[in-house]
Amino acid sequence: MKIKVNQDPLISANEVTDEKLLEVKGLEKHFPIKKGFFQRTVGSVKAVDDISFYVKKGETFGLVGESGCGKSTTGRTLMRLYEPTNGQIIFDGQDISNLKERKILPIRKDIQMVFQDPYSSLNPRKTIKTILSEPLQVHNLYKGKQRQEYIEDLMDKVGLNPDYVDRYPHEFSGGQRQRIGIARALTLNPKMIIGDEPVSALDVSVQSQILNLFKDLQGEFNLTYLFIAHDLGVVKHVSDRIGVMYLGKMMEIASKKDLYNEPLHPYTQALLSAVPRSHPTEVKRERIILKGEIPSPANPPKGCVFHTRCPAAMDTCKEIVPEFKEIKPNHFAACHLYE
């Protein structure tokens, strides 16, 4: 599946600073498994299991992995839509991991989310004007004519005709609805947007338009992105650095260039082998087909969680959890092959 974008996908267009906007340290999100009449807790699903990463101001960090790897749970936990089980979330210098609901509201103004399915995330009974007005109302921003002008300007910026402001979501195409979702995320001028598979539900031709829109808006609104996707082919076009997750754990983090040119982790190598080349300068790869299914996060394998499917697995992989560490400068991986 090829996506046409305006530039070489391995070159970044946006300006990235060295300052960290988001820092995640040892984050865990476990969901209890309850059974029986008394709903006793008999175990837990380790959806996110001790992951650490950071996102710099102005950067786009891509978070990738197959479905069920914990990437969306990570996004929702960072937004504090889920309570973290353990670990720290530091946003713009403030530890928000344990903030009470009342204190989270101002943070939510700064971190917004764009969801996968724009139709189910937009209320079908409300006009675009109402949908875009609501966050402004909650935060008491702009009134009357000023608010109308602000909304129309926002629509224009995301490529929607401001004359359609009184229309309902069902009157728009899938791509246009995602533009509405993006406009809603931008309403409060956030510092960061978490895109949870924001183009997966769209046609390939529309995907490229929405990805280009994300890129254009980044410069204009000074945005930092956490871009969640299951397809390395998609994040390639928008990310500066990429983290690869498998079964709740971080497997590898590197700059886009290092990850695509020299992936270290066998799981990343397998994922990349399935991505068609979109530029003649890209490395030709032999397809690696992974055996078996992803194990249940309620009962993850001992040792390296990837050992049941890894083509390079050794005896030690079945027993010992590999440490997530820097293998090359700014290139991290969790794999015994590099010990």
Q: Contact at 8 Å (CB) between 264 and 335?
A: yes
Is residue 115 involved in binding ligand SF4 (CB under 6 A)? no
Is residue 322 involved in binding ligand SF4 (CB under 6 A)? yes
Is residue 315 involved in binding ligand SF4 (CB under 6 A)? no
Instruction: Say how far apart CA 149 and CA 201 lie, in whole Å.
Output: 31
By the 10 Å C-beta count (0-12 exposed, 13-18 middle, 19+ buried), 286 is classed as exposed
Is residue 336 involved in binding ligand SF4 (CB under 6 A)? yes
| 5 vs 333, beta carbon nearer ligand SF4 | 333
Instruction: Say how far apart CA 114 and CA 184 lie, in whole Å.
Output: 8
Instruction: Say how far apart CA 2 and CA 204 lie, in whole Å.
Output: 8
* Residue in 96, 190, 317, 332 binding ligand SF4, rule: CB under 6 A: 317
* Residue in 214, 304, 324, 332 binding ligand SF4, rule: CB under 6 A: 304
Closest CB 189 distance from ligand SF4, rounded Å: 42
**Contact region with ligand SF4 (CB under 6 A), list: 30-38, 110-118, 145-153, 310-318:** 310-318
Instruction: Say how far apart CA 31 and CA 243 lie, in whole Å.
Output: 23
| 89 vs 254, beta carbon nearer ligand SF4 | 254
| 105 vs 314, beta carbon nearer ligand SF4 | 314
* Residue in 254, 307, 324, 332 binding ligand SF4, rule: CB under 6 A: 307
| 210 vs 304, beta carbon nearer ligand SF4 | 304
Is residue 266 involved in binding ligand SF4 (CB under 6 A)? yes
Site string for ligand SF4, 155-194 (x = CB under 6 A): ----------------------------------------
* Residue in 306, 326, 329, 330 binding ligand SF4, rule: CB under 6 A: 306
Closest CB 267 distance from ligand SF4, rounded Å: 6
Is residue 335 involved in binding ligand SF4 (CB under 6 A)? yes
**Contact region with ligand SF4 (CB under 6 A), list: 82-90, 108-116, 221-229, 308-316:** 308-316
Q: Contact at 8 Å (CB) between 169 and 119?
A: yes
* Residue in 313, 315, 319, 325 binding ligand SF4, rule: CB under 6 A: 313
What residues make contact with ligand SF4 under the rule CB under 6 A? Answer: 265-266, 304, 306-307, 310, 312-314, 317, 322, 335-337
